[in-house]
Structure 1
């Protein structure tokens, strides 16, 4: 019989700009660059024209990198037997980290306001979790994870 899940959480990055919004923003930047290019041609400064496309290229590369990063997913599951973290990257490759619930500890490092880290620890092994969450969400996630591990341990030993 499978033991109950005390936590089954999927952590995925949130992107506020949709792909359609990114396309519209790129189109607006390109239209503005065309207007500037026309002005520069009229003024007599054609050597500047090739550089106008660099900002569009940089913006496109940044949106592409953001879209790839948005495909990264973490799934955290806590049962009475094990804590399992599976990560799927943007290419679909999956890595799984499993540790016994009885010996797994949750640690929160708060070195700075924006550098909070949630870590699962067992012996000398550490795994950093929830990098895509805000610092406040990381602390809340760490508390929920600690509660789930505590409840799973109680079930196992009672």
Structure 2
């Protein structure tokens, strides 16, 4: 049997790796911090020359707090959520920003996609429901992204429910 004729018993019907969106890159962060530092230093220097020397230290403290907040934000961007569907299983693997892994394996024949929608804002939450278990997915996507993701996930679930299609002539 040649490599072109190999039969894959579990073809992957759907695979998505979701990561939190961060609009500020590392370079943008450096530019922002340099700009804020220069503005803070100039404003602090003006207060220092007026005789309000303690204010100068508070401007430095503000820069430190902003840097700390961005550091936490960038660290949390390391979180991921992987969703894979084959004809026999739906696997959700969530890795937190600290590296903790949680994994759910569900039968795609029993899974339903549930969504909580708001009339004005769109889809707020997506859930996979199977045998009394409810797993929240795609929590860090926006409403439009959740709608697109839900449409693709539903199509893959319907394909899994139809069963494998064997077509030896390709």
TM-score (norm 1): 0.91
Shift of the 147–37 alpha-carbon distance from structure 1 to 2, 3 Å rule, reads same
How many pairs align?
A: 158
Post-superposition Cα deviations, 1:91-129, rounded to whole Å, max 9, x if no partner, equal 322211111111111011113616611110112211111
1:38 matched residue in structure 2:
45
4+ residue runs over 4 A deviation: none
1:150 matched residue in structure 2:
158
2:3 matched residue in structure 1:
none
1:86 matched residue in structure 2:
93
CA distance in structure 1 between the aligned counterparts of 2:54 and 2:76, rounded to whole angstroms: 36
1:2-151 correspondence runs (5 A): 2-111=9-118, 113=121, 116-151=124-159
Where do 5+ consecutive residues of structure 2 fail to align? 1-7
1 or 2, which has the higher helix percentage? 1
Q: CA RMSD in A?
A: 1.9
Where do 5+ consecutive residues of structure 1 fail to align? none
TM-score (norm 2): 0.85
Q: Which has the higher contact order (CA 8 A, sep 6+)?
A: 1
Residue 16 of structure 1 and its aligned partner are, at CA, apart by: 2.0
